[in-house]
């Protein structure tokens, strides 16, 4: 579950490409996260995941979609972020009927802002990879909870328990 944090991360003020399914239409837009929270007057859960259509990432995205009304009732929007392209995100959304918005961070600007690219050991080889993480901002844009290196399975439920 996300833990209260003393990290001083702010929502970035640079535009990011985003896609979401609205009434079965794929809608592409640019989002500036600090303005997004201000305009929505809601909190924001932004979670980072390694790749579209992998087992853990699919579990996490479908769990967030299934619990979206509960997060909405608590006053939070949910946005996922990976380094995949907008086209990859569209296929991921369509294949799994996702109702959450996905940001494409192919240039890793958002990943660097949140410091979620870390060295990983994959089969004895060191590589840089995205560490599955989540950050919760209140409606004023203040970071209240953060968790890095989280487990995807049942994460949405654990986060709901924390925020309830």
Q: Binning pLDDT at 50, 70 and 90, where does residue 154 land?
A: very high
- The confidence score (pLDDT) of residue 41 equals 83
The yes-or-no verdict on residue 72 having pLDDT over 70 is: yes
pTM of the entire predicted model:
0.92
**Strand pairing partners for 161?**
none
- The confidence score (pLDDT) of residue 49 equals 96
Name every residue whose Cβ is closer than 8 Å to that of residue 7 and which is 6 or more positions away in sequence: 143, 146
Check 11, 19, 57, 61 and give the catalytic one: 57
Each as own residue / partner, the long-range contacts of residues 22-31 (CB below 8 Å, 24 or more positions apart, any chain) are 26/90, 26/93, 26/94, 28/86, 31/79, 31/101, 31/103
The yes-or-no verdict on residue 62 having pLDDT over 90 is: yes
Q: Binning pLDDT at 50, 70 and 90, where does residue 1 land?
A: low
Evaluate whether 158 touches 67 at the Cβ level (below 8 Å).
no
Q: Are strands 117-122 and 133-137 parallel, antiparallel or unpaired?
A: unpaired
111 is catalytic: no
Which of 2-11, 31-40, 114-123 shows the lowest mean pLDDT across its residues? 2-11
The yes-or-no verdict on residue 2 having pLDDT over 90 is: no
């Amino acid at each position: 579950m996300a833990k209260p944090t003393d990290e001083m991360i702010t929502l970035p003020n640079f535009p990011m490409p985003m896609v979401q399914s609205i009434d079965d239409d794929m809608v592409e837009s640019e989002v500036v996260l600090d303005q997004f929270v201000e305009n929505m007057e809601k909190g924001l859960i932004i979670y980072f995941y390694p790749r579209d259509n992998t087992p853990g990432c699919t579990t996490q995205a479908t769990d967030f979609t299934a619990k979206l009304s509960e997060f909405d009732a608590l006053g939070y929007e949910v946005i996922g972020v990976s380094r995949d392209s907008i086209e990859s995100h569209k296929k991921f959304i369509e294949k799994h009927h996702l109702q959450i918005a996905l940001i494409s961070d192919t240039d890793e600007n958002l990943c660097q802002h949140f410091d979620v690219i870390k060295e990983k050991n994959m089969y004895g080889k060191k590589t840089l990879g995205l560490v599955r993480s989540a950050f919760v901002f209140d409606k004023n844009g203040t970071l209240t909870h953060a968790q890095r290196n989280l487990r995807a399975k049942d994460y949405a439920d654990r986060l709901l328990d924390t925020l309830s």
